[in-house]
Structures are given as C-alpha cells and as structure tokens.
Amino acid sequence: MDQLTPSLPAPKTRRRFTPEFKAMILKACKEPGNSVAGVAQKYNLNANLLHKWRRQFEQEPATDFIPLTVTTPLIDQRDQTVRIELPNGTVIHWPADRIMESVDWLKVMQS
C-alpha cells in the first residue's frame, strides 16, 4: 500500500500595500456612513490593520506645502476697535491693536 503524504499548505506571504492604497482606504473610513470595520470587511482587511495605518498617517508630518506670501494687512488695526459687552449692559470699544491689554482690565472689572 502506498502511503499518502499530506499536502502542505502553501506558505502565506505578507501582503504589501502602497501608500496610495492606504490613503484611499483611510479616506473611505472617514466618509459618512462608513465604519472602519465595514471598510475593512469590504476590502478583506483586518480592522486592526486600518487602525494601525491611521495611527501611522497621523504621526507622519504633512509633506504637502503651499507657499504663502505674507503681506502687510490691508486694514490698519489702529483705526479698528473691538466691541466688548459686559454682563451689566456696559459696552466698551477697545482699540484692536491693544486688545491684549483688555484681558487684565476685564479681570479687574469682574472682581
């Protein structure tokens, strides 16, 4: 009698995913009505893997930069005032360029 040798299962290979695929999956997780578990099931992935990807993407600094030109403000703040309404009905117009000084003044008014 011949002995039958059991067939060995093929070794599992680790799947690799591109950053673009990961970003697409994470974007799908954020869409209204979708859950991490639902997206994972749809793409035959483990939900824990998606949570890991999310943590990784949150820790990576953004690499897309938009150059901005800083210019002087169009409005001169010296001519602007901030309207402060106190609980007792008093209205104060405070110069916008000195707004930080109003904090100490308001603390004194409340005590």
pLDDT along the chain (111 residues), means of 10: 66 87 93 93 94 87 64 63 79 82 76 60
For residue 21, what pLDDT is reported? Answer: 94
For residue 50, what pLDDT is reported? Answer: 94
In-domain check, residue 7: no
State how far Cα 54 lies from the chain centre.
Answer: 11
For residue 47, what pLDDT is reported? Answer: 94
Quote the tokens at residue 100: 């930080």
Residue 53 Cα distances to 26, 43, 61, 73, angstroms: 8, 14, 14, 41
Model confidence over 46-59: pLDDT tens digits?
999 999 999 988 88
For residue 77, what pLDDT is reported? Answer: 58
Q: Examine the domain organization and report whether 52 and 81 are in the same domain.
A: no
Q: Which residues pair with 82 in a beta bridge?
A: 94
Work out how many domains the chain is built from and give that number.
Answer: 2
For residue 25, what pLDDT is reported? Answer: 94
Query: Residue 24 is part of which domain span?
Result: 17-63
Q: Examine the domain organization and report whether 55 and 92 are in the same domain.
A: no
For residue 74, what pLDDT is reported? Answer: 57
